[in-house]
């Protein structure tokens, strides 16, 4: 198949082995001018070294983009998702899924700025990320050419990648104590795939987990924290106001200390197969528990129940890569409408992998002690319940009489 002629391509570039090889491959196969984009999403690694690596491979200084996206990532992507209490298939907090649309958006912004006619990513042809990136690209720039090397080249093994790197003089850094797992990290989570995890019955080794203390080794004393909410988003911890990224980083520290946020799941990928993965989402796990707690006193019953009904659909849209789709935006508008009165403070107890809600208070609470007390009250007539029950049971009574 002949290659489509491409003049400039924006590559999502980490500076690692795979994307360094892709950079060289784009130059050799497409003869295109390559623009690199490296995003700091709080993955815990320095992103600035990517600049030197790109320069060493012949990229012009003006074609190298490195951006700190941590605040935008948490404020405009993580927080909106958490307003919905989003979980995919009951357990996955979508840490990788939610980062992809932001990266895609920035690549398209750079493409428009630099007059590029193509974008490229390093996702494989077996996974979800290719779908997430490319649905984002095509939503934001419908005419863009997408280059997915893993679907085109013959470099289908680690050995062939290393051979290509050696042949083309691509520097390979051997990191000390490098994890053997395929990993993705950002401020929300870190994921692990591959190696022994490909057997869904094999327990991961303890040293696989890089962020969280093992729950059995976590502190023997519980720790209490408070999280303050406004319009459904967390704004302060222990009374101290924080920016979105700082707040999530702080919650990560609490979660890591107390062994919170580990999950080991087999999930259904959008492309068809099942995949086993392990995730650490310490701060997100705490946020989810706290948000549901503040909603419990601020949301109307039917509002809360309808949110829970649409959440799996919303989660599936994000997992499958439809962040920019009109249906996701429609659901987001409905979710955000419910959050206008979600404010107040939640008190939590953290202890050995567990989060216990021990208090919640709000200036907009719907909890009425006068109505729910077990003591004498003057606002609720218990006799009213008899008619309520009779009317709700009427269809059962009629059906029972008709079928005698």
Residue 202 in domain: yes
User: Which residue numbers are catalytic?
Assistant: 18, 100, 129, 182
Q: What is the pLDDT of residue 381?
A: 85
> Integer distance in angstroms from the first to the last C-alpha of the chain?
73
Instruction: Flag whether 52 is in a domain.
Output: yes
Going by the DSSP 8-state scheme, the letter that residue 172 receives in this structure is -
What is the Cα–Cα distance from 309 to 40, expressed in whole angstroms?
34
The pTM of this model reads: 0.94
Q: Which two tokens stand for residue 271?
A: 């492309």
Mapping DSSP to helix (H, G, I), strand (E, B) and coil, where does residue 265 land? strand
Q: Taking residues 188-217, what's their average pLDDT? A: 96
In terms of residue numbers, what domain contains 17?
Answer: 8-82+93-167
The pLDDT assigned to 174 comes to 62
Q: For residue range 343-363, list pLDDT tens digits in order.
A: 999 999 999 999 999 999 999
Residues 189-195 have a mean pLDDT of 95
In 3D space, the residue among 128, 103, 256 whose CA is nearest the CA of residue 193 turns out to be 128
User: What separation in angstroms does the CA of 156 have from each of 74, 126, 149, 153, 372?
Assistant: 35, 12, 10, 8, 64
| DSSP category for residue 74 | I
Find the CATH number of the domain harbouring 263: 3.90.1260.10
Whether 154 shows a pLDDT value over 50: the answer reads: yes
Question: For residue 176, what pLDDT is reported?
Answer: 60
Mean pLDDT of 54-72: 97
* Mean pLDDT to the nearest integer, 238-260: 98
Q: In what order do the strands lie in the sheet with 240-241?
A: 240-241, 233-237, 223-230, 344-351, 354-361
Residue 334 lies in a domain: no
The residue whose two tokens read 């302060």 is 236
* CATH, residue 124: 3.40.50.620
Mean pLDDT of the chain: 94
């Amino acid at each position: 198949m002949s290659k489509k002629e491409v003049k400039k391509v924006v590559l999502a570039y980490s500076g690692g082995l795979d994307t360094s090889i892709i950079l060289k491959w784009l130059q050799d196969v497409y003869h295109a001018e390559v623009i690199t984009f490296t995003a700091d999403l709080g993955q815990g690694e320095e992103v600035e070294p990517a600049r030197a690596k790109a320069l060493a491979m012949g990229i012009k200084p003006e074609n190298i983009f490195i951006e700190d996206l941590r605040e935008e990532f948490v404020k405009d992507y993580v927080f909106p998702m958490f307003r919905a209490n989003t979980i995919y298939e009951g357990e996955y907090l979508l840490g990788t899924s939610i980062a992809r649309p932001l990266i895609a958006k920035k690549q398209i912004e750079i493409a428009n700025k630099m007059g590029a006619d193509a974008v490229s990513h390093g996702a494989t042809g077996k996974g979800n990320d290719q779908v997430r990136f490319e649905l984002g690209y095509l939503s934001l720039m419908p005419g863009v050419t997408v280059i997915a090397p893993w679907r085109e080249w013959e470099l289908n093994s680690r050995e062939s990648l290393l051979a290509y790197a050696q042949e083309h003089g691509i520097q390979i850094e051997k990191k000390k104590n490098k994890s053997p797992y395929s990993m993705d990290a950002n401020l929300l989570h870190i994921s692990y795939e591959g190696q022994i995890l490909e057997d869904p019955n094999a327990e991961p080794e303890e040293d696989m987990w890089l962020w969280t203390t093992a729950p059995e080794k976590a502190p023997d004393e519980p720790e209490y924290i408070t999280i303050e909410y406004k319009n459904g988003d967390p704004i302060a911890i222990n009374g101290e106001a924080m920016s979105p990224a700082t707040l999530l980083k702080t919650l990560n520290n609490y979660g890591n200390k107390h062994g919170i946020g580990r999950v080991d799941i087999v999930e259904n990928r959008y492309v068809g197969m099942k995949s086993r993965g392990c995730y650490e989402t310490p701060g997100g796990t705490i946020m989810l528990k706290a948000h549901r707690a503040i909603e419990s006193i601020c949301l109307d019953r039917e509002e809360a129940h309808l949110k829970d009904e649409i959440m799996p659909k919303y989660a599936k849209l994000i997992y499958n890569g439809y962040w920019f789709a009109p249906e996701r935006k429609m659901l987001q508008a409905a979710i955000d409408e419910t959050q206008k009165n979600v404010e107040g403070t939640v008190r939590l107890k953290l202890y050995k992998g567990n989060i216990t809600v021990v208090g919640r208070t709000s200036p907009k609470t719907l909890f009425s002690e006068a109505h729910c007390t077990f003591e004498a009250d003057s606002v609720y007539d218990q006799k009213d319940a008899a008619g309520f029950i009779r009317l709700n049971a009427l269809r059962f009574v009629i059906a029972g009489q008709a079928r005698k």
